[in-house]
């Protein structure tokens, strides 16, 4: 299609009916992007220009940022919804997840990841934080190139056209006073220095590929308090204050009550207290899930300006529980971020609306997360949308998230006549979109000024799906 073929070095004016900028939709504007893939300015649509892309009947919004993903878990979709014992839980789901993780070759990992990233692109996601813990061969031996699997995942994201923060996971043990679990052999790096060395090496390699575009970069992921002993956590904490101070830091925190009990038993502290003790609780940290927090722990996190990434579509699928402290965080200094996590469903706006809707069911009340001083039609939706955009960008260090000059030209469009949002007015369009948009409405997706989805299709869609179907047949049978 025409959009993809323009020369990269020319400024381009994108002309939709509506642009979401400054927290509202505006008519009569053009988004001008430059050859470096950045937003140059937002200007009146009437100005004369050399190169324009007219997007009739479309509203244009900043690309969504998925702050927490395990791409390979896409292979599990629909395969874990049956009863395996009297009482299934997160832990029994994990056994099935491990059995898939054990079997993937490097090329399989590429195919599975590319499928997940393709679906993300079709859902308006332009950047992803990949919490990556598959490091070794199935026997637990490192590959000759220690970062081989991480690079397969990055290659998949690049081939789809997504930006990726590869959050390289530190995973040292099965748990406190637990025997090593052979099912975790591919994750384990017991030597902290080796972990840090491989992290820095990967970061250098990605930077060398990147040519200053920030299309892929590295971050630190501490798997969880159960997977890391105290000395390991202390060493990484020290690293984040020195040589590693540029890296975002992510960690699974308080997803399951059993994790909190084990942490209390080992350290005499809850996970949040422990992180505070060792200096990890800061604005650089994103705690993923943070479901089983006391009110006091939640306040401590807000005071330390630590972020939370909530993954409601996964949390409901796994029976994890509901994130209860949204209001405290949204009234504080940080937006929350959102993640598709296990890929049970890839629809970040569904995650955004669940933040609010779960609380409605729980409290039997409405508009719980709406700002107190703003009664406009889309005030609540704007807060939730910020979690899916600026909140995610802040969490993973993406250059996108907002349509303002200097930010990356990452955006998506929706068809205003799509059945799911037709008839919306200027003021309530964002609310309609956040609470009811169907993915069929998403038409163009652009990353760094380059269209990766046009008219609702990705160029490599057929091939990606065909390869993924073959992989699924091999893993599970036809």
The set of catalytic residues is 289, 341
Q: Which of residues 421-450 bind Zn ion (CB under 5 A)?
A: none
- Candidates 187-195, 226-234, 272-280, 334-342: pick the segment binding Zn ion (CB under 5 A): 334-342
* Residue given tokens 């600026």 in the structure block: 390
Closest CA to 52 of 87, 15, 89: 15
Cα distances from 455 to residues 25, 326, 415, in angstroms, run 22, 35, 10
Q: Within 10 A of 445 (CB to CB), how many other CB atoms are there?
A: 27
Give the CA-trace dihedral at 139, 145, 146, 147, to 10 degrees.
Answer: -120
Nearer to Zn ion, 19 or 306 (CB): 306
Tell me how many residues contact Zn ion (CB under 5 A): 1
Q: Shortest gap between Cβ of 186 and Zn ion (angstroms)?
A: 16
The rounded distance, in Å, linking the Cα atoms of 402 and 283 is 20
Q: Which is nearer to Zn ion, 132 or 284 (CB)?
A: 132
Token pair, residue 35, equals 């050859």
Nearer to Zn ion among residue 133 and residue 232 (C-beta): 133
Measured from the CB atom, is 340 or 400 closer to Zn ion?
340
Alpha carbon 473 to chain centroid, angstroms: 27
Alpha-carbon torsion angle 104, 75, 287, 280, nearest 10: 0
Supply the minimum distance, in Å, between the C-beta of residue 288 and Zn ion. Answer: 6
Tell the smallest beta-carbon distance from residue 131 to Zn ion (Å): 5
Task: Select from 4-12, 214-222, 335-343, 346-354 the region that touches Zn ion (CB under 5 A).
Answer: 335-343
Specify the residue, 72 or 217, whose C-beta has the smaller distance to Zn ion: 72
CB of 374 to Zn ion, least distance (A): 33
- CA 380 from centre of chain: 21
Options 5-13, 158-166, 340-348, 466-474: segment touching Zn ion (CB under 5 A): 340-348
Report the 10 Å Cβ neighbour count for 351: 29
Chain residue at closest Cβ approach to Zn ion: 341
Residue 456 DSSP code: T
Min dist CB 255 to Zn ion, Å, is 8
Nearest to 290 by CA among 332, 334, 248, 260: 260
Chain positions 199 to 238 lying near Zn ion, rule: CB under 5 A, are none
Of the candidate spans 4-12, 26-34, 338-346, 402-410, the one that interacts with Zn ion by CB under 5 A turns out to be 338-346
Can you give the binding site for Zn ion, defined by CB under 5 A? 341
């Amino acid at each position: 299609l025409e959009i993809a073929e323009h020369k990269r070095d020319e400024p381009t004016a994108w002309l939709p009916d509506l642009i979401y900028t400054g927290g509202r939709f505006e008519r009569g504007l053009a988004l001008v992007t430059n050859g470096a893939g950045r937003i140059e300015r937002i200007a009146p649509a009437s100005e004369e220009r050399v190169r324009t892309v007219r997007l009739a009947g479309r509203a244009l919004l900043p690309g969504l940022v998925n702050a927490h993903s395990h791409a390979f878990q896409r292979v599990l979709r629909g395969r874990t919804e049956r009863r395996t014992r009297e009482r299934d839980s997160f832990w029994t789901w994990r056994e099935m997840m491990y059995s898939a993780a054990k079997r993937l070759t490097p090329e399989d990992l590429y195919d599975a990841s590319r499928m997940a990233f393709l679906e993300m692109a079709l859902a308006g996601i332009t950047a992803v934080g990949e919490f990556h813990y598959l490091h070794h061969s199935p026997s637990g031996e490192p590959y000759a190139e220690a970062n081989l699997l991480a690079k397969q995942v990055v290659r998949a994201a690049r081939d789809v056209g997504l930006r990726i923060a590869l959050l390289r996971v530190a995973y040292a043990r099965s748990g406190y006073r637990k025997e090593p679990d052979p099912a975790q052999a591919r994750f384990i790096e017991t030597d902290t220095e080796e972990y840090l060395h491989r992290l820095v090496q990967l970061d250098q390699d990605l930077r060398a590929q990147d040519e200053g575009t920030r299309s892929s970069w590295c971050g630190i992921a501490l798997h969880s308090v159960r997977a890391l002993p105290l000395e390991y956590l202390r060493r990484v904490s020290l690293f984040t204050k020195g040589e590693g101070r540029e890296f975002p830091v992510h960690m699974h925190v308080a997803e399951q009550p059993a994790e909190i009990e084990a942490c209390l038993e080992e350290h005499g502290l809850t996970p949040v207290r422990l992180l505070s003790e060792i200096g990890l609780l800061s604005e650089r940290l994103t705690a993923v899930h943070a479901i089983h927090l006391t009110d006091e722990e939640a306040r401590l996190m807000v005071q330390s300006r630590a972020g939370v990434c909530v993954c409601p579509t996964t949390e409901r699928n796994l029976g994890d529980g509901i994130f209860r402290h949204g209001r405290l965080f949204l009234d504080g200094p940080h937006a929350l971020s959102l993640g598709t996590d296990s890929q049970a469903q890839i629809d970040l706006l569904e995650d955004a609306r669940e933040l609010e809707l779960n609380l409605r069911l729980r409290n039997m009340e409405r508009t719980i997360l709406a700002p107190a001083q703003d009664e406009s039609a889309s005030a609540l939706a704007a807060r939730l949308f910020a979690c899916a955009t600026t909140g995610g960008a802040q969490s993973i260090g993406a250059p996108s998230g907002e349509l303002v000059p200097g930010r990356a030209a990452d955006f998506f469009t929706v068809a205003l006549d799509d059945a799911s949002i037709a008839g919306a007015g200027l003021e309530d369009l964002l609310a309609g979109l956040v609470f009811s948009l169907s993915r069929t409405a998403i038409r163009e997706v652009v990353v760094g000024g380059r269209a990766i989805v046009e008219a609702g299709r990705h160029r490599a869609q057929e091939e990606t799906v065909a390869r993924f179907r073959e992989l699924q047949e091999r893993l599970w049978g036809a």
